[in-house]
């Protein structure tokens, strides 16, 4: 899994984490960002059990926040209970798990191979864009705020 690296104030390389990126988004002054309190541990365990392909970064995301909206109204990562309720019994749930949506309606999903993808809802839910990790996706969202 590819992770982005950046330099901290002393010039030492470190790996960006979900929490780092959420903090940077929250500090971004020109856009409204809604970051919720952490998700319920039981719901995170349920997600891990029901969708074993969900990578640890997504579970870590929910340990930090139970959803976020970036650039309100904008990109939304749903609360964990909404993800579980929305996909319960869905035929698509074996191929991917919808965890959010862009402001224009295209779903953001975790694919069966653990990547984050943006699906084109107007063309048969085909993959438009794909990221190796949630950190990569959030980094792109942060750069789009500039």
Q: Could you give all domains of the chain from N- to C-terminal order, each with its CATH number?
A: 5-144 (3.40.1580.10)
Given a cut of 70, the residues of the chain with pLDDT beneath it are: 1-15, 28-31, 72, 86-94, 146
What is the pLDDT, as a whole number, of residue 118? 95
The whole-model pTM stands at 0.79
Tell me what the pLDDT averaged over the chain comes to. 80
What is the pLDDT, as a whole number, of residue 104? 86
What is the pLDDT, as a whole number, of residue 5? 37
What is the pLDDT, as a whole number, of residue 146? 65
121: Cα within 13 Å, side-chain hemisphere: 11
Q: Which residues, including other chains, have CB under 8 Å from residue 23's CB and lie 6 or more apart?
A: none
What is the pLDDT, as a whole number, of residue 48? 93
């Amino acid at each position: 899994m590819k992770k982005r690296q950046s330099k901290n104030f002393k010039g030492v390389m470190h790996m960006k984490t979900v929490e780092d990126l959420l903090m940077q988004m929250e500090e971004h002054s020109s856009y409204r960002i809604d970051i919720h309190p952490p998700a319920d541990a039981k719901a995170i365990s349920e997600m891990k059990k029901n969708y074993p392909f969900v990578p640890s970064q997504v579970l870590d995301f929910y340990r930090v926040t139970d959803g976020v909206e970036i650039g309100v109204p904008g990109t939304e990562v749903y609360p964990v209970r909404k993800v579980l309720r929305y996909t319960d019994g869905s035929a698509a749930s074996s191929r991917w798990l919808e965890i959010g949506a862009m402001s224009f309606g295209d779903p953001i999903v975790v694919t069966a191979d653990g990547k984050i993808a943006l699906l084109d809802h107007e063309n048969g839910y085909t993959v438009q864009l794909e990221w190796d990790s949630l950190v990569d996706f959030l980094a792109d969202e942060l750069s789009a705020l500039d």
